[in-house]
Amino acid sequence: MRATAATVDLGAVARNYARLVARAASGCAVAGVVKADAYGLGAGLVSRTLWSAGCRDFFVATAAEGAALRGILGAGARIFVLNGPPVGPSLIPVVSTPAQWRACDGPVALQVETGMHRLGVAPDEARGMLCTGRVVLLLSHLACADNWAHPLNAAQCAAFAALTKAFPDVPASLAASHAFLANPATHHALARCGIALYGGCGAEGVLALHAPVLQTATVPAGASIGYGATYRFPKDARVATVALGYADGLLRAASNRAALYHNGVPCPVRGRVSMDLTCVEVTHLGRDPDVMEVLGPHQGIDALAAGCGTIPYEVLTALGPGSGLLR
């Protein structure tokens, strides 16, 4: 049986949540974003962990996710559905269009467009909706929060502030993880934190993944490796073939650029990641390894994502339950 397996440290999720709560501005609660099965980590266990840590507000993407979460957490949690109506009677839809507004007759969260141009009603439309008393949360989303120096952040914050000042009695939510950590002025009444709970943004690592080495061999100078012969060795090299590939969630983008680790030493990926195998150079180790760290104490999701030229969200969701690795 294949020994490659990933493990989730729920204690780390709780500790990351506690750190965010401690950092929150006065009057700001921290919600858990658990859409996409808690970014691939398992919404059931993660949500129960967050609830036990004191989290009472949760965000999901779809009504089906919301219904499942309600069954897990019971009646006490507030559950917001980001994709909007229709939703069950115990869920709060996030309304982003006039048509969605008209489709709802109960409490809603209202998403306003401030510059991302993805979802949200126009500010002028939002003002009329905010006068009705039906809006339990006013929110928007920042397009460039992971680069706080980007001028769009200031423009979006100003557009959102114009509404919060006009309707100070409506609770507001602007910050997701990056903005929450970058600027306390974005905290408002409720922060929506996801990746900072799960090991991104410099948080404590939550997902660990180790994969066994199936074979180690010497590849002669001038020879290539893997599909497409995309890497050619300039000199003789020891190469370990690891039981992990894109079918398991290791992104093909890791080819020829990311690294796996052995005892804290990075070993570069050589050639293309294939369906269930990845090759790394281990010449510099001085001995043949039996297992490689993909995620763990020496490489978190931020570092692996950088090595793949992508973002930690993609890394997590790829390595989640759909890969079959979580134990």
Q: Rounded to whole angstroms, how far apart are CA atoms 245 and 266? A: 18
Q: What is the DSSP letter of 190?
A: E
For residue 86, cis peptide bond before it (omega within 30 degrees of 0): yes
Could you tell me how many residues make up the chain? 327
| Spatial distance between the Cα atoms of 239 and 215, rounded to a whole number of angstroms | 8
Contacts of 229 (CB under 8 A, 6+ apart): 271
Query: For residues 174 and 188, what is the distance between their CA atoms, to the nearest angstrom?
Result: 7
Q: What ranges in the chain are assigned the alpha helix state H?
A: 10-23, 35-39, 43-52, 63-73, 98-103, 123-130, 151-166, 177-182, 301-308, 312-318
Burial class (CB in 10 A: 0-12, 13-18, 19+), 265: middle
CB count in 10 Å sphere of residue 11: 11
Sign (positive/negative) of CA torsion 50, 42, 68, 23? positive
Write out the catalytic residue numbers.
Answer: 35, 227
- Expressed in percent and rounded to 5, the helix, strand and coil fractions of the chain are 35, 25, 40
User: Under DSSP, is residue 298 helix (H, G, I), strand (E, B) or coil?
Assistant: coil
Provide the CA 142 distance to its chain's centre, in angstroms: 15
